[in-house]
Structure 1
Amino acid sequence: MILHCVFIRFRQDVTASEKEAIYAGIAALKDVIGGIVDVKGGPNVSPEGLDSGYADGFAVTFEDASARDAYLDHPDHRAVGEKIVAAAAGGQSGILVFDMKV
């Protein structure tokens, strides 16, 4: 399995309801893209203070790398991704993606 982690520095003016709409859009991808096992998202709750400004994020678990790759190329993923980039501070520079085998 692949755990696809995305951490976001949202712009200051992005509201909680806008964030929730983005998370809902990501979760909805599970119903349209095969190979997604689980989707979780929300604000960082770590007390360590080591988030480097990435105060929100989500994780998508895929059956395997090919499922992840199909997700990356899927037009519905691209549409949600555009919303994330638009809401992130500095666009793509406000997003950190980290994938690992689990």
Structure 2
Amino acid sequence: MEEGKGEVKHVLLAKFKPEISAEEIENLIKGYSNLVNLIEPMKGFHWGTDVSIENLHQGFTHVFVSTFESTEGIAEYVAHPVHVEFANKFLPALDKVLVVDYKPTSA
């Protein structure tokens, strides 16, 4: 398999700033989930909130997982004007953020 080819997951862990209301968070999540309809390389999107009993979340409360067909697709997504516009609204609402891209493998 070529280096950049094959499914890639884009994982974003987020902690919203305390002053961001639940309604604002809901609207941001709706905007994030709509990106899959607007940016062709983005093939899937899932999100959820932390439910771990291990207490190792380091303050992160939300998890967003996007699926792409390749690392090139992620690069196209990151540079896409719709993503840039959304990121300019989303990122200022965050107190903490961590992004990891990985290629799923089987054991």
Q: TM-score, normalised on structure 2?
A: 0.84
Which position in structure 2 is the counterpart of 1:50?
56
Q: Equivalents in 1 of 2:84, 2:24: separation in Å? A: 18
Post-superposition shift, 1:42?
2.8
2:33 aligns with 27
1:70 corresponding residue in structure 2: 76
- TM-score, normalised to structure 1, is 0.88
Q: Measure how far apart 1:8 and its partner are.
A: 0.9
Q: Could you say which residue in structure 1 is the equivalent of 2:97? A: 95
Q: How many residues of Structure 1 are paired with residues of Structure 2 in the alignment?
A: 98
Give how far 1:59 is off. 0.8
Structure 1 unaligned runs (5+)?
A: none
**How far off is 1:46 after superposition?**
1.6
What amino acid maps onto 1:46 in structure 2?
Answer: S
Structure 2: any 5+ residue segments left out of the alignment?
1-6
More helix by share: 1
AA at the equivalent of 2:101: D
Higher strand share: 2
Runs of 4+ in 1 over 6 A off after TM superposition: none
Overall identity of the aligned pairs, in %: 29
State the secondary structure of the residue aligned to 2:16: coil
- Measured on the aligned residues, the alpha-carbon RMSD in Å equals 1.1
CA distance in 2, matches of 1:20, 1:40: 14
